[in-house]
Amino acid sequence: SEAPPPERPPDQRHTGKQKHSLWAEDEMEAANTAEDLQLLELIGQGRYGTVFRGSLNERCVAVKLFSSANRQSFTNERSIYGLPLLQLHDNIARFLAADERTNAEGRAEFLILMEYYPHGCLSSYLSHHTVDWSTCCRMTHGVTRGLAFLHTELHRAGESKPGVAHRDVSSRNVLLRSDLSCVLADFGLSMALTGSRPPRPGDPDTMAISEVGTVRYMAPEVLGGALDLRDCASALKQVDVYALGLLYWESFRRCSQLFTGEAVPEHQLAFQAELGNHPSFQEMQILVNRNKFRPRFPESWRSSSPALSSLMETMEDCWDPDAEARLTAQCAEERLCDLTLHSHRIGPPPVGPASSQDLGVV
Ligand code: ADP
Ligand code: MG
Ligand code: MG
């Protein structure tokens, strides 16, 4: 795993004095946040935040704690969660409050309080569980709905949400509710694309625009330094869809019904088989950009049903080397919706010798 091992959870009540109350829902009076919040258990460690299961007035919450070095990431994530209409969607993580306080050593630290997702991230769920076909369709469809919504500019009841690029789509940034429905989370690198001032190629932070995200999930044009910023909004959405294709591959590789008569392979992150746990930018550049390598499909998927062929085609259309040829998130959403409906009618696609025999297929 790329995440460091969990540390001992801090079981003491945080008594740090808060400097400002930055933002909160009505029910979560920010004035009380720092006083009444207890951090109970370390549940996640990303590049920017340390995430705890906590309790606030008896309510179970997740707390993403940023050190002062990661202030930028905090500020950005808070401003994305604060965009109008964003919280209306079922496949976007629930934000509760943001806060700033001073820790025991006198340093500023920043908190984002959010709903606690008991199954954690998609990647850790897939590493411990296989999923059946309809669950896998539902999970990937949910992530895709969330991304399509995020990308879309929306005007409703006098409020406007700009289109937003996520810029760090991965199976670690998708969280699971107890019913296994999925939400998109971790907006630390996200960027509003429309509205007052969309980013332009001449901007001083063009480098920052083109080189963020998790190396493993970086699109070939990002790795090759050829991100086309003339239409920045489309380019960044295409980068998100590339990573979405990898996320589909990781998910369906753990689908029990796609491996009848053979063992379901262990969970692997994209390119883990080829480059291991800590691929470098340069290794990724050679593999994905220069050699145009993409995750391999299991052998038994090759000669199978139309549903599975269409799924593989959808993945390939997401990770196409030509960014402009990729599906939009909206289009990917329609494809997965069809797949889900199809499986309701005729069940999962038959795969492997066992299921072919059962169905009398030669
Ligand atoms: P970073 O920006 O540092 O990557 P994330 O927001 O992605 O931080 O959180 C890191 C990890 O913590 C996630 O991959 C997930 O495993 C866990 N996590 C984050 N938020 C929650 C939550 N609300 N409920 C449960 N687990 C969470
Ligand atoms: Mg993350
Ligand atoms: Mg992040």
Determine whether the shortest distance from the Cβ of 46 to ligand 1 is under 6 A: yes
pLDDT at 5 over 50: no
Q: Which of 60, 121, 170 to mutate to test the pocket of ligand 1 (most atoms within 8 A of CB)?
A: 121
Residue owning the nearest CA to atom 8 of ligand 1: 46
What is the Å distance from ligand 2's center to 263 Cα?
A: 30
Ligand 1 pocket member 186 (CB < 6 A): yes
From ligand 3's centre to the CA of 307, what distance in Å? 34
- For residue 88, report the phi and psi dihedrals to the nearest 5 degrees: -75, -15
> What pLDDT shows up at residue 21?
38
Proximal ligand: closest to the CA of 49? 1
Does pLDDT of 186 surpass 60?
yes
What was the pLDDT predicted at 33?
58
Ligand with the closest atom to the CA of 48: 1
Judged against a pLDDT cut of 50, whether residue 169 lies above it is answered with yes
List residues with catalytic annotation. Answer: 168
Residues 228-254: tens digit of each pLDDT: 888 889 999 999 999 999 999 999 999
CB atoms within 10 A of CB 273: 11
The ipTM value here is 0.99
User: Closest Cα to atom 17, ligand 1: which residue?
Assistant: 44
According to the model, what pLDDT value does residue 18 have?
39
Tell me the per-residue pLDDT of 322-355, one tens digit each, with 9 for 90 and over.
999 999 999 999 999 998 887 777 677 777 654 4
The number of CA neighbours under 13 Å toward the Cβ of 259 is: 16
Which is higher by pLDDT, 228 or 99?
A: 99
Gap from CA of 62 to ligand 1 centroid (Å): 9
- Ligand 1 pocket, residue 48 CB under 6 Å: yes
CB 183 less than 6 A from any atom of ligand 1:
no
> From the alpha carbon of 48, which atom of ligand 1 is closest?
3
For residue 213 and ligand 1, the question of a CB distance below 6 A is answered with no
Tell whether ligand 1 has an atom less than 6 A from the beta carbon of residue 117.
Answer: yes
For the cut 60, the answer to whether the pLDDT of residue 54 exceeds it is: yes
**Of the given ranges (116-130, 136-150, 152-166, 301-315), which has the lowest mean pLDDT?**
301-315
Average pLDDT (209-224) is 88
Model confidence at 31, in pLDDT bands (50, 70, 90)? Answer: very low
Q: Dihedral angle at the C-alpha atoms of 318, 320, 321, 322, nearest 10 degrees? A: -90
Distance 201 CA to ligand 2 centre (A): 26
Cα 182 to ligand 3 centre (Å): 17
The pTM of this model reads 0.88
